Structure 1
């Protein structure tokens, strides 16, 4: 005889519902705290200069959206903002793709190939995590200048594409792949690169997506290295451009244009995160990682 299902104690559903509403309210409050400064920046990019400098500042968008954003895209301290956005896009994509490609191949070599000093090389790569860019920036600059790569996309990208973190993450993932897959590929006559392309690369898709989002934002936000190696204004990045828009001395900042440029600088990273959101979350929480 089937045992009857007992009714839940009185008030349990109500308490569960109340707790759900409270947790959602707290979450929404946190979102509002984070979003409010961005909203103020957007509002500031749609009003006139006197409306910003004369308090209280409005909390709703004005009627200068097209004017301010048109000025932002067509103006800049030394070069149009549109050009700086393109430079930042090329740099961010180049750094993200370069880091992922090198890390995939280096982790594949460390896990699936036998050669003298394999672990020594791995730990040397891992130890570079303790050396930030600022520590090795002077010798890196000398190398790039010696190769004649100042004021070039190669100079912006190549010194930043080595990633010990990504190599370590892919190595840890490859070590969870069953050895039977490699044995089956070897029996079928597949070459090492064929095994990498047909088996390991598709399995690494979520990890690649998660790292691409992180590395794209890392490359997009770079300031010190582009500032050091670019003397040609046409190679300025958007982060450099925003800094250059702030006046020095007694000059008055054109705040609507600066805020419009800041909003434009946020759009590409936001698009990348939203478009790759599902793969990004799966890459972070996948139990097979």
Structure 2
């Protein structure tokens, strides 16, 4: 039984409120900056109360673009980032769940060795293998394409490990019952494993969507056309070394817009995400 300690609860809520303030205050300042004009921000006259330039700034950012982004609107960048993030998340889930299914339910030579080779790739992120990966993508003619943005990043040792650990908790009786019903391997996978893995899939989707949305180095290398730029690259291009040349209201508007899709994904999938990570049987 958990004891009711008012002072302890007060400290806990105070700590939580302080943490939320530390995280949320810079976001609020960015939102406020997105509602002022450039002169007000550059002169340091911006207050903590939103201004009246929000409609102009958000319309210009979403649909018109700036000179520093070669006229590419942030709306187009968000579409590119969304396609890339969705492709990476769905691709990682598909490959991870199939590889985990093979490792757990099929007997073949060097099965454990294959799993450990997959697991060791955690020590080889894209930054480590950036040159050979770029060389292969360039030779295959996938520069400035969605395929080039997505395909090299869809393998996931983390996802394979997550699904493997979950599959190992599923009773063998389910597999035996499927065999008695005449179900083959694919039907057992489709009708039994996938429905049971919904929460795990949701948890992995949230993690990998945010991972794909925040990618910077890989899109920077393989995209040369402004029409293929992602929103993270767009934010970087808007920031110059000289403050007088930076349109801070547009940069802050872009930053606010860039936060919306990951936040919405977390909000709408929060219950499944938490359940997929903390269920005791996992």
Q: TM-score, normalised by structure 2?
A: 0.95
Matches within 5 A, 1:88-237: 88-237=81-230
Retained in 2: the 8 A contact 1:141–1:229?
Answer: yes
Task: Note the alpha carbon deviations across 1:72-114, whole angstroms, 9 max, x for none.
Answer: 1121312111110000000000000000000000000000001
Q: Which residue of 1 aligns with 2:20?
A: 31
Bigger mean CA deviation after superposition, 239-248 or 228-237: 239-248
Bigger mean CA deviation after superposition, 154-163 or 202-211: 202-211
Shift of 1:251: 5.2
Structure 1 residue runs of 4+, over 3 Å off? 248-251
Retained in 2: the 8 A contact 1:207–1:283?
Answer: yes
Q: Which residue of 2 aligns with 1:283?
A: 276
What RMSD over aligned residues (CA atoms) do the two structures have, in Å? Answer: 1.4
Distance of 1:123 and 1:239 partners within structure 2: 34
Gaps of 5+ in 1: 1-11
Q: Which residue of 1 aligns with 2:54?
A: 65
Shift of 1:47: 1.1
Q: Report SS of the residue matched to 2:118.
A: helix
Q: Report SS of the residue matched to 1:93.
A: helix
Retained in 2: the 8 A contact 1:51–1:58?
Answer: no
Task: Note the alpha carbon deviations across 1:235-286, whole angstroms, 9 max, x for none.
Answer: 0000001101113557511111110011000000000000000001101111
Q: TM-score, normalised by structure 1?
A: 0.92
Q: Which residue of 2 aligns with 1:45?
A: 34
Equivalent pairs, count: 276
Q: Report SS of the residue matched to 2:245.
A: coil
